[in-house]
């Protein structure tokens, strides 16, 4: 089945889906892409943030996006503590820290999952907001408003983070620590503190991303497993540490998935992300916008 209308709808819905993928991956672009920390617990933090948003929405009727912004400072602290723990127990001890770090973050992910189950049970949770369940009509095209919200937030986050990293002193320091940690140390700056701060920002971003996650679909404690492959795929395809590359890679992934889901058969969709990743890496090993 093929029609121009169907293709148009698939592309529009794919761009929106891609922006959502960008929002949930952008924190990882900093922690894994820039800082080289094997943050495999990233999706678990994301789900944890969704439950925080759920709690505020359910108890106080606070809009999910506002709730996400409210919990962001808490997640910043959580990120700072997590990095410090990782640094003290693994990173400072030697060259195989990366491999052992993966085990550390897997452990963190499992602990988060179990804590969510103990506190909220295994049932799925969702939020209410005026824009969930409604669509914007343009002719015969219908666009879910919750996806438009995800689109706007993703664009906003990308612009904000890209500006912060390129225009502010701290942002430049974060980029510098990613390029030459030793050089930064010689300049009199403490790279561990900078990395700790950057990891805090990467985790704080998840507060807002978690809000988008629960706006898009209900969440349950093991949902992180669905996102682990997709988020890493986006970040690697983008080029490690590239914020604007993350948005572009996520949109390419979203549009490809949407076209496959609409026109070729839903079963093929999971293979798309990794096929794209392999294709991009074969042509540009450094990723789309990597250096």
Name the residues that contact other proteins, by CB under 8 A.
1, 3, 5-6, 9-10, 13-14, 17, 20, 117, 121-126, 128, 132-135, 142, 144-147, 216-218, 220, 222-223, 226, 257-259, 261-263, 265-267, 269-270
Residue closer to other proteins, measured from CB, 117 or 160: 117
Nearer Cβ to other proteins (144/290): 144
Nearer to other proteins, 5 or 180 (CB): 5
What are the tokens at 63?
Answer: 């809009």
What is the per-residue DSSP string for 242-283?
-HHHHHHHHHHHHHHHHHIIIII-GGGHHHHHHHHHHHHHHH
Identity of the residue, 146 or 195, whose beta carbon is nearer to other proteins in the bound complex: 146
φ, ψ of residue 223 in degrees (nearest 5): -65, -25
**Nearest approach, Cβ of residue 75 and other proteins (Å):** 21
Residue with Cβ nearer other proteins (57 or 196): 57
Q: Write the DSSP string, 141-177.
A: EEEEHHHHHHHHHHHHHHHHHHHHHHHSHHHHHHHHH
In angstroms, give the least distance from the CB of 101 to other proteins. 26
For residue 7, give the nearest of 130, 183, 112, 141 by alpha carbon: 141
Residue (271 or 281) nearer to other proteins, CB: 271
Query: Within 10 A of 277 (CB to CB), how many other CB atoms are there?
Result: 19
Q: What CA–CA distance (Å, rounded) separates 173 from 175?
A: 5
User: What DSSP designation does 241 have?
Assistant: T
Residue 135: its H or E element: strand 135-138
In angstroms, give the least distance from the CB of 226 to other proteins: 5
Instruction: Find tokens 């096929």 and name the residue.
Output: 275
Q: How far is the CB of 285 from other proteins (least distance, A)?
A: 27
* Nearest distance, CB of residue 288 and other proteins, angstroms: 23
**Does an H or E element contain 53, and which?**
helix 42-60
Judge whether 219 and 213 are in contact, CB under 8 Å.
yes
Of residues 177 and 219, the one with the C-beta less far from other proteins: 219
C-alpha distance from residue 3 to each of 261, 262, 263 (Å): 14, 11, 9
């Amino acid at each position: 089945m093929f029609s121009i209308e169907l293709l148009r709808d698939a592309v529009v819905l794919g761009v929106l889906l891609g922006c959502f993928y960008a929002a949930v991956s952008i924190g990882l672009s900093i922690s894994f892409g820039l800082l080289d920390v094997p943050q495999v617990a990233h999706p678990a933090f994301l789900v944890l943030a969704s439950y925080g948003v759920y709690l505020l929405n359910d108890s106080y009727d606070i809009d999910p996006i506002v709730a996400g912004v409210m919990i962001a400072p808490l997640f910043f602290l959580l990120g700072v503590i997590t990095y410090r723990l990782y640094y003290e127990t693994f990173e400072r001890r030697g060259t195989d820290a990366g491999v052992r770090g993966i085990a550390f973050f897997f452990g963190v992910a499992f602990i988060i999952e179990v804590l969510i189950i103990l506190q909220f049970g295994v049932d799925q949770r969702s939020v209410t907001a005026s824009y969930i369940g409604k669509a914007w009509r343009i002719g015969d095209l219908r666009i879910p408003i919750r996806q438009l919200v995800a689109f706007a937030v993703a664009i906003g986050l990308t612009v904000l983070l890209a500006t912060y990293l390129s225009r502010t002193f701290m942002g430049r320091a974060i980029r510098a620590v990613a390029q030459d940690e030793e050089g930064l140390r010689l300049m009199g700056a403490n790279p561990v503190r900078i990395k700790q701060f950057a990891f805090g920002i990467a985790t704080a971003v998840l507060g807002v991303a978690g809000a988008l996650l629960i706006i898009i679909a209900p969440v349950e404690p093991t949902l992180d497993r669905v996102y682990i492959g997709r988020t890493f795929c986006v970040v690697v395809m983008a080029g490690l540490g590239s914020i604007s590359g993350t948005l572009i890679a996520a949109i390419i992934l979203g549009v490809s998935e949407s076209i496959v889901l609409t026109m070729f058969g839903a079963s093929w969709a999971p293979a798309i992300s990794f096929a794209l990743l392999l294709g991009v890496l074969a042509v540009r090993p450094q990723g789309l916008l990597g250096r």
